[in-house]
Amino acid sequence: MTDITTHSLHDLGVADLARQLAGRQVSAVEAAQHFLARARSHQHLGAFVSVNEEATLAQARAQDAAIAAGTAGPLAGVPIAHKDIFVTRDFPSTAGSKMLAGYRSPFDATVVTRLADAGAVTLGKLNCDEFAMGSANENSAVAPVGFDAPQPVRNPWDTARVPGGSSGGSAVAVAARLAPAVTGTDTGGSIRQPASFCGITGIKPTYGRASRYGMIAFASSLDQAGPMARSAEDCALLLSALCGPDLDRDSTSLDVPAEDFSAKLNDSIDGLRIGIPAEFFGEGLAPDVRAAVDGALKEYEKLGARLVPITLPRTELSIPVYYIIAPAEASSNLSRFDGVKFGHRAQDYTDLVDMYKKTRAEGFGDEVKRRIMIGAYVLSHGYYDAYYLQAQKIRRMIADDFQNAFKDCDVIAGPVAPTVAWKLGEHGNDPLADYLADIFTLPASLAGLPGMSVPAGFGDGGMPVGLQLIGNYFQESRLLNAAHRLQQATDFHLRAPGGL
């Protein structure tokens, strides 16, 4: 008999739960049922947009059989949930948009397949900003489970605040203990920023490490999948399963073999050089965020790491560069949603062009339309050279700034966002306020570098603050090692919102 009851299953991380499942102290079916029940009892948070209990329990039964037969994978029976930007056969795939309402994919995304091959059991799909465009998860056009109309996702630490975006539903599911781990995507910070706002751990790997096949595209040169969980140890387990080449199906996939990201978690970080960019600690950084980040950096010094001042001189340019390149790619990627072959189609139209116009006007939300229009403008004749080409040149300079910095340090550390999570509706109809919140996450995205958010403390209102760690290309293991050692010395990642 086990001393683990189903009442405490949600307090276990991926690593601990995987051990309990492998030892048959709890069954995959029991774990799935427990988390499905938690999702039902916390519907007010708006995290899930679809569940399919029959499909989930069928997967769980298959994993129980694999465990009994000795053929189970490393994540056998561990319940997870997927951001609704990954296509799935057993659940609708909407990307948070009316344009794909009710869409069922005939295949699974590679990330979904690889985690299933490792034994993970899918609980459902998670809310996100429409087509992953947003920093607050207030742009979803899909009704969450338990609601009849679209609702903003609510931060479990304070339900009057945003959870961050676009992977807000993913971050909330982990923070509220509705799933031990989830998938997210990061285009300009959409794993790191919601992880910071919700007090969990999330990592965006080097661009091309994780397959984009079956990930509904926003900006193809920036989108990257990654795991979100309670701890660096849990993220390492998931990242090991979902990374690896997918050359036949994804032209942006790198021919770099998967690796065991858990292997170096416990290595010493004595002598680790942590670069501190001056540009990340200037005007605009809230004092409460600065205090939490400074506290985490002091912990690193106690562990033997050395803080090294560095400069990333083009940090401020990352916002205009990103908001030229990403909308340009979005306008191209979203041109496929025209009402012809799949997705929403207008009911009343006169001819083909009228159908296109009405379908896209009805199907896309305001933020998506805004980015399509910006993208079409910067790619248009006469403006391509002045905007898009210049942005790409500066993007290369931003990447070069990082390479210069890495000559003097091993990892770079700083805040994830300038403030803690803001109140729902606080930014109103001012999209620029949301865009500015991405100032610290955009540079690594533009450079294609791995980055992660690690719980570092709490700021005003008791809201979580994340420490951002950025590594050089293919240095995920080093980032995870640094994060894990910090989490062995602190307990911020173990704390849960009250009332759960």
Distance CA 193, CA 84 (A): 18
Return the structure tokens found at 499.
């009332």
Tally of residues, the chain: 500
At a CB cut-off of 8 Å and minimum separation 6, what does 334 contact?
A: 131, 364, 368, 372
- Clarify whether 166 is annotated catalytic: yes
Instruction: Identify whether 83 is a catalytic site residue.
Output: yes
Instruction: Compute CA distances 146 → 125, 128, 153, 221, whole Å.
Output: 14, 16, 13, 36
Active-site entry in 50, 83, 167, 453? 83
Q: Which of 328, 369, 370, 335 is nearest to 219 (CA)?
A: 328
**Secondary structure of 33-73 as H, E, C letters:** HHHHHHHHHCHHHCCEEEECHHHHHHHHHHHHHHHHHCCCC
Q: Among residues 190, 211, 318, 477, which one is catalytic?
A: 190
**453, β-bridge pairs:** 202, 468
Whole-number Cα distances in Å, 426 to 114, 141, 161, 355, 421: 39, 19, 9, 36, 10
* Under 8 Å between Cβ of 176 and 35: no
- Give the Cα separation of 172 and 169 in Å (integer): 5
Starting at the edge strand found earlier in the chain, the sheet holding 451-458 runs: 48-51, 121-126, 79-83, 181-186, 224-229, 201-204, 451-458, 464-471, 411-415, 273-277, 306-310
CA distances to 374, 407, 469 from 308, rounded to whole Å, are 39, 11, 14
CA 140 to chain CA centroid, nearest Å: 15
Q: How far apart (Å, rounded) are the C-alpha atoms in residues 446 and 398?
A: 7
Active site residue: 50, 105, 140, 166, which one?
166
Nearest to 472 by CA among 415, 416, 417, 407: 407
Which residue numbers are catalytic?
Answer: 83, 166, 190
